[in-house]
Amino acid sequence: MSERSIARELEALLREHRRDADGGDALVRAVIDHARSRSPAERDQLMSHLLGLVAAETPELWPIALESLVRAGSEGTAGRLGELFASEPHSPEWADLVMVAILRLGNAEVVAQSREWVREELARYHAGALPMLAWLYREDRESALELGARFFAGALGARPAVGERLRGEIARHIPGQLEGLLAGSTGAVLDLVDRVASIDANAGRALAAMIAAALRDPAARDRFGTRAVSALGEAMRLRAG
């Protein structure tokens, strides 16, 4: 299978799903189904082509290619994405999405290598690192809680290190933070808030208030589970003061 034929097949799938209003989900599933229909050798060629689209930040296609690679979960994908990440400069959006993809793939060695980069991004109060933190809660809870506590204490404290705009971005990311924390237990949410409060009481109250607001959303019970919402709601209200 030539590169040209692979590109033509992907372009045909893109045309077929161009009008979908689902954020690319159907197209990603179509790409994965297409890969599964090919021989092992052709599948490897397709995966390499997808990696090339990601590396080149090919307009329209690279986020679809990246999500297809993550969902397919081919052996060695995390390492190859890690090599791409380290190879040359890319756009901030690319760096954020690729790092989240690496963490989602859960390769222990690559996750360990990625942790320091996430630490540096959080130290810069880069809100795009919050989805990475959400995945780190799943892979390395203790380190992630430490990183999260420092970030939220600095961003939400009595003397915030950043402006009001970041508070709005943090609030938007709270549901994702909860998903990562609740992959372990409800206790992880309480642990994070209490760690933040031990550094800065104002920040602890602010974070608890944001979490309480997210739990009041009508969709929260479906997203996080009735038990988690019930267990955490009152605890967050008390911590918010």
Please give the tally of structural domains in the chain.
2
| pLDDT given at position 171 | 96
Dist. CA 78–CA 125, nearest whole Å: 25
Same structural domain, 114 and 81: no
Is residue 56 scored above 90 in pLDDT?
yes
pLDDT higher at 162 or 36: 36
Same structural domain, 68 and 119: no
Burial class, 168, CB count within 10 angstroms (exposed 0-12 / middle 13-18 / buried 19+): exposed
| Domain assignment of residue 100, yes or no | no
What pTM was estimated for this model as a whole? Answer: 0.82
Sorting pLDDT into bands at 50, 70 and 90, what band is 190? Answer: very high
Give start and end residues of each alpha helix (H) in the chain. Answer: 3-16, 25-36, 40-55, 62-72, 77-87, 92-105, 108-123, 130-139, 141-156, 164-182, 186-199, 201-216, 220-224, 226-240
Per cent of the chain over pLDDT 90 is 57
Same structural domain, 19 and 121: no
Mean pLDDT of 198-221: 96
Q: What is the mean pLDDT of the chain?
A: 90
pLDDT higher at 2 or 80: 80
- Token pair 């590109």 is found at 7
Sorting pLDDT into bands at 50, 70 and 90, what band is 160? Answer: confident
| Domain assignment of residue 93, yes or no | no
Tell me, rounded to whole angstroms, the distance of Cα 41 from its chain centroid.
31
| Domain assignment of residue 154, yes or no | yes
Sorting pLDDT into bands at 50, 70 and 90, what band is 73? Answer: confident
Cα 227 to Cα 143, 218, 231: the distances in Å are: 26, 14, 6
| Domain assignment of residue 162, yes or no | yes
| Domain assignment of residue 99, yes or no | no
Task: Please choose, from the candidates 179, 238, 184, the residue with its C-alpha nearest in 3D space to the C-alpha of residue 214.
Answer: 179
Dist. CA 24–CA 38, nearest whole Å: 22
Same structural domain, 68 and 114: no
Same structural domain, 114 and 159: yes
Same structural domain, 36 and 146: no
Domain that holds residue 38: 1-88
Same structural domain, 122 and 229: yes
Sorting pLDDT into bands at 50, 70 and 90, what band is 89? Answer: confident
Sorting pLDDT into bands at 50, 70 and 90, what band is 38? Answer: confident
Sorting pLDDT into bands at 50, 70 and 90, what band is 217? Answer: very high
Same structural domain, 220 and 166: yes
Lowest mean pLDDT among 75-79, 83-87, 157-161: 157-161
pLDDT higher at 197 or 113: 197
- Token pair 């808030």 is found at 193
Is residue 111 scored above 80 in pLDDT?
no
> Which residue among 88, 123, 147 closes a domain?
88
Cα 9 to Cα 16, 29, 67, 68, 113: the distances in Å are: 11, 14, 17, 15, 35
Same structural domain, 81 and 11: yes
Sorting pLDDT into bands at 50, 70 and 90, what band is 161? Answer: low
Mean pLDDT of 90-113: 86
Dist. CA 187–CA 228, nearest whole Å: 10
| Domain assignment of residue 97, yes or no | no
Mean pLDDT of 152-171: 86
